[in-house]
Chains A and B, each alone.
Chain A
Amino acid sequence: MWNGFWRYRYLLWNLVSRDFKLKYRRSFLGVVWSVLNPLLMCLVYWAVFSSLMDMRGSGIDNFAVFLMCGQLLFNFFNEATATGMSSVLSAAPLLKKVYIPKYIFPLEKCCFAMVNCVFSFVALLLVMIFTGAPFHLTLIEAVYPLVTLFFFSLGVGLFLAAATVFFRDIMHIWSVFITALLYFSAIFYDPTQMTFSIGGFNMQQIIKLNPMYWYITGFRRTVMWGIPLDFNMFAVCGGCALLSMVVGVWVFRKTQDRFVLHI
C-alpha cells in the first residue's frame, strides 16, 4: 500500500494542482479569491447575525472571529466530504482505462480542501489583525484540531465515496445531513449559553455528541482564547479521526474491486 502511494505521489500533487488551476481559470482576480471569498462570506454572516438577527447581546466577544473559526473548519469538512463523495464517480473515465489506486481520488479532494482551508486561515488572521484580536502562543496548537479533522474527513470521504458508487441516493441525503450538522456545530452561537433541553436531554450534552463541535471548539480555544488543549480535547479529536479512518478504509478496501463495474 505504501509503495503504491509513493509511486503515485506526483499524481496526487498533479491532481491537486489541476483542481486549483481549473478553479481560478479565466477569473480576473485568480488566487486572490481564495482569501477574498472567506472574507466576504464572513462579512455576510457577520452582517446577518449581528444586525438582522441581533445576536450581539449574546455575549460573544469578537463575533466575527468566533464565526470565522467555526466556518473555517466546517467548510473544510463540507468541501472534503462532498467532493470526496463524488470523486470516484467523476474519475470514472480514468478508472475504467488505467490502473490507479482508487483511494487517491478521495484523498486528493481532501488535500485540495486543506489547501483552500489554509487560504481561509490567512483570511482569518487578517480579520484577527483588523479587529484587534489578541494573538496567543497556543495558536500553534491549532494544528492539532486541523490535522485530526483532516483524517476525520478523509475517513468519512472514503466511506461516502464507496457508498455513493453503489447508491447514488447518498449524494442527496448528505447535503441535507450537512445542513442539519451545520446548525448543530456551534458555529453561530456559543453552546455554553444553551440552557434549554430537548426531550429531557440537555442541549449542551446533545451538541457534544457531534465530533465537529469538538474540532471547532478546540480550534477556537487555541486561536481565540489562548487556552491550551486539554486531555479530553486530544482524546476526542484523535479518537474520532482514528475511528473514522478505520471504518472508511475498511469499507473502501472491501468494495473497491467492484467500483469499476458500477461507475
Chain B
Amino acid sequence: MEPIIKVDNVSMCFNLSTEKHESLKEYFLAMVQGRLQYDEFYALKNVSLDIMPGDFYGLVGLNGSGKSTLLKTIAGVYKPSKGKVTVKGTIAPLIELGAGFDMDLTARENIYLNGTVLGFSPKYLDEKFDEIVEFSELQNFLDVPLKNYSSGMVARIGFAIATITKPDILIADEVLSVGDFLFQQKCEKRMQELMAGGTTVILVSHSIEQIERMCSKVAWLSHGHLKMNGDTQTVCNAYKAVQRGEA
C-alpha cells in the first residue's frame, strides 16, 4: 500500500541570527561589513517517516524536539529546507489554539471564517452549522466575540469545525489538553470515529497514557532526529525508560 504521508529525508533549518536585521540600513551595514552570519539551527535533521492510510500515529518527545515543526511541514506551513514531504489527501490541521479565528468576530462568524480557511463552502457550513454548535456545546455564546471566550471554549469550536467533515488526515497538536476531561473524552471518541471511517490521525501529546491508549504507531523525536519509530508499546516503553533514567 502507498503511504498517505511520505516524509523523505526532511531537514528544517532556522537561521537563528543573533540580531535579526529588520531594517534595511542594518541589513546593508551588516552585509558590507561581512557580519551577516547566522547560527544555523536544525529543528529537524534527516527525518524520514512513512505514514500509511488508517494509521493513528503518535508523536512523542520533549519540548523543542521538533514535534510541532514536523507537523507544520506536513501541513504545508513550512517548506522543508531539504528533503520532501508528499501528502495525498485533505488535511485538517489542528495546530495550536485558535488558528484562523479572528478574536473580534463572534463565534457564529468565526465558524464561517475558519470553515472557509479549511476550504469548506458556506453552503456546506450552513448544513453542518447545528452539528458544530451542538458538538462544541456553546449554544448560549454564539453571538459573543471570541475574545471573551476562555481558551477551552475556543478549543471546542476549533475541534468541532475541523472534524465536521471526514478529512483524509487529521493533525492534532496538543489541542486536547485545554479542554476539560469530559470534552477530552468526547474528542477522543470523535477521533476514533473518524479513524474507523478511514481517516489517518497524527497526534502530539505529552500524556504518554493517552498515546498508549489511542495510537497504533508512535514516532519518537529527540533534538530533531527521529530516534525511534514503530509500534506503540515498544517505543513508549523505551521512551519511558529514558525519561525515568534522566529523572
Q: Does A140 contact B (CB under 8 A)?
A: no
Chain B 83-97 interface mask (CB, 8 Å, partner A; 1/0):
000000001010110
Residues in A89-113 with C-beta less than 8 Å from chain B? 93-100
The CB with the most chain A CB atoms within 10 A, among B14, B24, B93, B120, is that of B24
Residue of A nearest to B104 (CB): A22
Q: Complex Cα distance A112/B100, Å?
A: 19
Q: Does B178 contact A (CB under 8 A)?
A: no
Q: Complex Cα distance A94/B75, Å?
A: 13
- The answer to whether A97 touches B100 (Cβ under 8 A) is yes
Q: How far is the CB of B242 from the nearest CB of chain A, in Å? A: 30
Give the total of A residues in contact with B, Cβ under 8 Å.
26
Q: Complex Cα distance A169/B26, Å?
A: 10
- The answer to whether B14 touches A95 (Cβ under 8 A) is no
Q: Does B210 contact A (CB under 8 A)?
A: no
Residues in B57-75 with C-beta less than 8 Å from chain A? 72, 75
Contacts of B112 in A (CB 8 A): 14
Q: How far is the CB of B72 from the nearest CB of chain A, in Å? A: 8
Q: Complex Cα distance A44/B121, Å?
A: 44
- The answer to whether B99 touches A167 (Cβ under 8 A) is no
Contacts of A168 in B (CB 8 A): 22-23
Contacts of A94 in B (CB 8 A): 99-100, 117
Q: Does A183 contact B (CB under 8 A)?
A: no
- The answer to whether A96 touches B105 (Cβ under 8 A) is no
- The answer to whether B100 touches A98 (Cβ under 8 A) is yes
- The answer to whether B113 touches A98 (Cβ under 8 A) is no
- The answer to whether B116 touches A98 (Cβ under 8 A) is no
Q: Complex Cα distance A145/B98, Å?
A: 41
Q: How far is the CB of B171 from the nearest CB of chain A, in Å? A: 10
- The answer to whether A18 touches B102 (Cβ under 8 A) is yes
Q: Complex Cα distance A25/B122, Å?
A: 22
**Known contacts A7-B119, A18-B113; A98/B105 CB under 8 A:** no
Q: Complex Cα distance A260/B95, Å?
A: 15
Q: How far is the CB of B20 from the nearest CB of chain A, in Å? A: 8
- The answer to whether A14 touches B113 (Cβ under 8 A) is yes
A positions within 8 Å CB-CB of B? 7-8, 10-11, 13-15, 18, 21-22, 25, 93-100, 167-170, 257, 260-261
B positions within 8 Å CB-CB of A? 14-15, 22-25, 27, 72, 75-79, 91, 93, 95-96, 98-100, 102, 104-105, 109, 112-113, 116-122
